[in-house]
Amino acid sequence: MLRRFMLMMGLLVAASLACAGEAGRIVFVAGDVQIAGQRVAAGSAVSEGDELATGSDGYAYMKTVDNGFFILRPNTRARITAYHIDSQNPANTRIKFDLLSGVARSISGEAVKQARQNFRFNTPVAAIGVRGTDFTVFTDQQTTRIAVISGGIVVSGFSAACDPKGNGPCEGSASRELFAGQAGLLQVNNGQAVPQLLRGEGASPDLVAPPRSDEPTGKTSGAGSVTAPTAAAGSVTSIIDAMPAIHEVSLDPQKSNDLLLNALLPETQAPLDAPVASVVPVVAPVTTAPAPPEVLWGRWQAVANLPADAAALAKLNGGTYNPAGVLGSFFITRVKNSELVLPNQGSASFGLVNSEAYISAAGQAPVAATIQNARLDIDFAARAFSTSLNVVAPGAQVGIYARGDITLKGELVSHAMNSNARVSGYLGGALAQEAGYLFKSTDTPVLSAFGATQWAR
């Protein structure tokens, strides 16, 4: 009897040591997900110090040992820097994530809620602390943006008063809080100590890497657990709540020991052929209202028997938008205090989503036209754009092409030498996800064309 007791105690100690550095388990994998260059499968343990990376199609959901979630979306790299839980003395708990690049979501577990002062979520430019929270982060080496789903966060840019090596939130005169009931999100640029509040959803991390429809809802079901994802047939692997209980109940050492003893004693093991009841949680779809366009255009005067655009003019005069620029019968403007972050490299093609155009012959009134074969290409490295389209009306057609520069404010300004039309407009959205411009032909003496366009990536 004593020998058996000593054997069980030895197994308990060995299991405890094996799990000492475990932060959680991967419960859902889709696409390319790796730890230290090795492909990850559902059920894989994630330990302190592990660095996770997702490819262009990769999603990973990690369920933490205290029943929280850490979710990585495509093209993301993150490190579990620390996940040490002391349930007897939460002051000794240390939990720290480092999001190196991409988009990640953090849903606080029980240990985080009990020791918020010892939780830190770092990006290359900012430190994030929580108030018991569910939040999403986008970051690259220059900019971090954080959106709050529930609870609240406190954010500070790195400075002499906020060291990346520190633990817990940076709180002081330079920090800013954001709660789920507030509109907008927080942004921090490299070298900027005080975060900036951005209004609207145009810069949301969800626009960079949208969530899957089966991403955990963050709503609790049962004793503080978070609703987990289900497997999409044929495309992913998943283990929902299938981890050994020892990994999930470290906040209650006695309960953990009892469960492990039950698993070790032969007389308490369930038969191998015992039926296993499966419970598939229902995940409610998360729907968000689309953000209104940041770039606004409309008619400021009547044209082709159409009155001035009363709705657009009301928005322009409502105080939300900057003073408008005018070209022909149209005006164009952008939201006040909008923060446009232009990529420093790469290019993007935009598709036409809305337009209004007219053709007029010499000495005749304009007639309504449609736009065909439209394209807009942006070269972010060169800060340049090129665009072309055909304006078509019954019995008439005018081809438009233009090249030009993109200013630091995101303005599109055409070059007269490389264009047959004057083009004036804006890029919009924090990541230049949208654009709008006005155009008016300049080299067609018999037929002229003018109009307004709205684009999206």
11-268 and 295-456: identical CATH topology: no
Burial (Cβ within 10 Å: 0-12, 13-18, ≥19) of residue 411: middle
Q: How far apart are CA 423 and CA 387, in angstroms?
A: 9
Domain spans, the chain = 11-268, 295-456
pTM summary value: 0.50
Q: Where are the alpha helices (DSSP H) in 134-241?
A: 205-208
| Architecture per CATH, 295-456 | Beta Barrel (2.40)
Half-sphere exposure of 171 (CA within 13 A, CB side): 15
Query: Residues 154, 156, 158, 161: what is their CA dihedral angle, to the nearest 10 degrees?
Result: -90
| Architecture per CATH, 11-268 | Sandwich (2.60)
Angle ∠(333,410,299) on CA atoms, nearest 5: 20
Write the CA distances from 274 to 177, 208, 239, 296, integer angstroms. Answer: 51, 46, 19, 64
Write the CA distances from 313 to 262, 288, 317, 332, integer angstroms. Answer: 72, 27, 6, 10
pLDDT in tens, the chain (457 residues): 555 545 555 444 433 433 448 999 999 999 999 998 899 998 899 999 999 999 999 999 999 999 999 999 999 999 999 999 998 888 899 999 999 999 999 999 999 988 999 999 999 999 999 987 899 999 999 999 999 999 899 999 999 999 999 999 998 888 999 888 787 899 999 999 899 988 766 678 998 999 998 887 654 333 334 455 544 433 444 433 333 333 333 344 444 344 333 433 333 333 334 444 444 445 454 444 455 678 999 999 999 889 999 999 999 998 889 889 999 899 999 988 766 777 777 888 999 999 999 999 887 899 999 999 999 999 988 999 999 999 999 989 999 999 999 998 899 999 998 899 999 999 987 678 899 999 999 987 788 999 999 998 8
In DSSP terms, which residues pair with 38 in a beta bridge? 35
